[in-house]
Amino acid sequence: MVVGLTVHPDHRKLGIARVLVRACIRFAGSRGASVIRSMTHRDNQASIAFHRAVGFADEDGFVAPDGDEKVAFSMAVADQAGQERRLEPND
């Protein structure tokens, strides 16, 4: 389980989060997972847009016990086949 993914503001928009998410998906697939699920805060529009951009599908949201509204996503691991790339030293 990955709990949180944040890229320092000085290094955003370089594809780092995309590479990390795809690495997590490959790892999960190698361990037999068929679906990846994720969630973010309802008001985190950048995270919502990122999830959609990397191929996550929207699911029903929910309210956490502390009252925080979440947006939920899922992705079939097979959806990412052939979309991986090696992280190069200059990435």
Domain ranges of the chain: 14-80
Using pLDDT thresholds of 50, 70 and 90, give the confidence band for residue 88.
Answer: low
pTM above threshold 0.85 = no
Within 8 A by CB and 6+ apart from 47, the residues are 40, 41
Spatial distance between the Cα atoms of 34 and 28, rounded to a whole number of angstroms: 8
What mean pLDDT do residues 78-86 have? Answer: 54
- What average pLDDT does the chain have? 83
Radius of gyration of the chain (CA): 14
| Distance spanning both ends of the chain, measured CA to CA | 24
Its CATH architecture, for the domain 14-80, is 3-Layer(aba) Sandwich (3.40)
Residues composing the chain: 91
pLDDT at 19: 92
